[in-house]
Amino acid sequence: MELSLSPTPHRVPSTIPYLNSARLSTKATLGFSSHFHSIGLQHHQQRCCSIPVSKRPQRPSSIRACTGVGAAGSDRPLVERLLDLKDACWRFLRPHTIRGTALGSFALVARALIEHTNLIKWSLLFKAFSGLFALICGNGYIVGINQIYDISIDKVNKPYLPIAAGDLSVQSAWFLVIFFAVAGLLIVGFNFGPFILSLYTLGLFLGTIYSVPPFRMKRFPVAAFLIIATVRGFLLNFGVYYATRAALGLAFEWSSPVVFITTFVTFFALVIAITKDLPDVEGDRKYQISTFATKLGVRNIAFLGSGILLMNYIVSVLAAVYMPQDFRSWLLIPAHMTFAISLIYQARVLEQANYTKDAISGFYRFIWNLFYAEYAIFPFI
């Protein structure tokens, strides 16, 4: 679950979470979307990842995906229109957040299974994948509701996102987020019991008050990053590990590696929460959105985020040194030293580039890559 609880010539690659912020295309307008626009559904969106990549070429007579029929697209092949639909919906899910959620889930499940290999059963496979789908639904709901209430600012900061770009109507977006919420709640309720259902509901609630008026906690920097850290850090890691042990017939019990990854990722989520606004300073200032980046400056926030991550890596190395019985020092120490050196190098590159928008975007992409890397090594530490 994310807020954002994991990157064709004309379609966005599913392996790249970062899209071109200067996408140009000729689009047909649709009545329902225009109706929502006219009644004032222009809001601000969670700035999770605005990393530009190569521009997607314009298609002739392109239509808005997921919005029904349009005169300009009526003569286009059905297959091409379906590809447009898939492309818009995939961008709506914010792929980099899906990747983080999926990697986190796989890593925690793998860790629980490694600790109890004698309890592995093929019958648990369906439950595991249903849980993953529920997490992706929760992630989709949170990032989706944020985009619905962020249209105006996205046209400045992230014009490639499907609603801001006109590739997805507000009506279709509402359909998707309602589907994600209902499907996720039903899956968790029928498969994982009341406690996990309460955690899942809490995550959806926090994601809602983050974006939706009158709460819109994203307006307040401290509340915003605490929500992101809680959902992506504590709820995801604790919830997945708890559910996996329950599925194996075990009572919940903290282990040193799980305490480590939960704490580590919670602090890492703080870094993501404060650095996600770095590429969006222009739009935030235009729409008077208060963030740490607009208050303290891009350079200061980049240094603050790097400093928190470096402390994370130093503590990880110390944990391996002083707790060799709980961790594999031969992996934990060199891996985190490598991550730390890479972070210092990227921070220096950003400084030398004088904090241009492209350099900031590259730095933020690198932060997410470090996030993925931590989950990749976790089952083996």
- When comparing pLDDT for 283 and 90, which is higher? 90
Q: What is the pLDDT of residues 187-197, one digit of tens each?
A: 999 999 999 99
- When comparing pLDDT for 312 and 77, which is higher? 312
Considering only CA atoms, which of 159, 221, 218 is closest in space to residue 19? 159
Average pLDDT, the chain: 82
Q: What is the pLDDT of residues 104-125, one digit of tens each?
A: 999 999 999 988 888 888 888 8
Q: Quick one: tokens of 225?
A: 């990053």
Instruction: Find which of 44-58, 106-120, 166-180, 213-227 is predicted with most confidence, using mean pLDDT.
Output: 166-180
Q: What distance in Å separates the CA atoms of residue 378 and residue 375, rounded to the nearest whole number?
A: 5
Across 126-132, average pLDDT: 93
Instruction: Report the phi/psi class of residue 153: left, alpha or beta, with left for phi > 0 and alpha for psi in -120 to 50.
Output: alpha
Q: pTM of the entire structure?
A: 0.75
Question: What domains, with CATH codes, occur in the chain?
Answer: 80-253 (1.10.357.140), 255-380 (1.20.120)
pLDDT of residue 278: 87
* Residue 8 scores a pLDDT above 60: no
pLDDT of residue 287: 73
Q: What distance in Å separates the CA atoms of residue 269 and residue 355, rounded to the nearest whole number?
A: 22
Q: What is the sign, positive or negative, of the torsion defined by CA atoms of 59, 63, 64, 67?
A: negative
Helix segments in 276-328, DSSP class H: 281-286, 292-296, 298-322
- Helices 236-247 + 124-148 axis angle, to 10: 160
* Residue 93 scores a pLDDT above 80: yes
Question: In this structure, are residues 216 and 84 in contact, taking their beta carbons and an 8 Å threshold?
Answer: no
Instruction: Find which of 4-18, 66-80, 112-126, 168-182 is predicted with most confidence, using mean pLDDT.
Output: 168-182
Considering only CA atoms, which of 94, 88, 6, 14 is closest in space to residue 47? 94
Q: What is the percent of the chain where pLDDT is above 70?
A: 80
Q: What is the pLDDT of residues 230-250, one digit of tens each?
A: 999 999 999 999 999 999 999
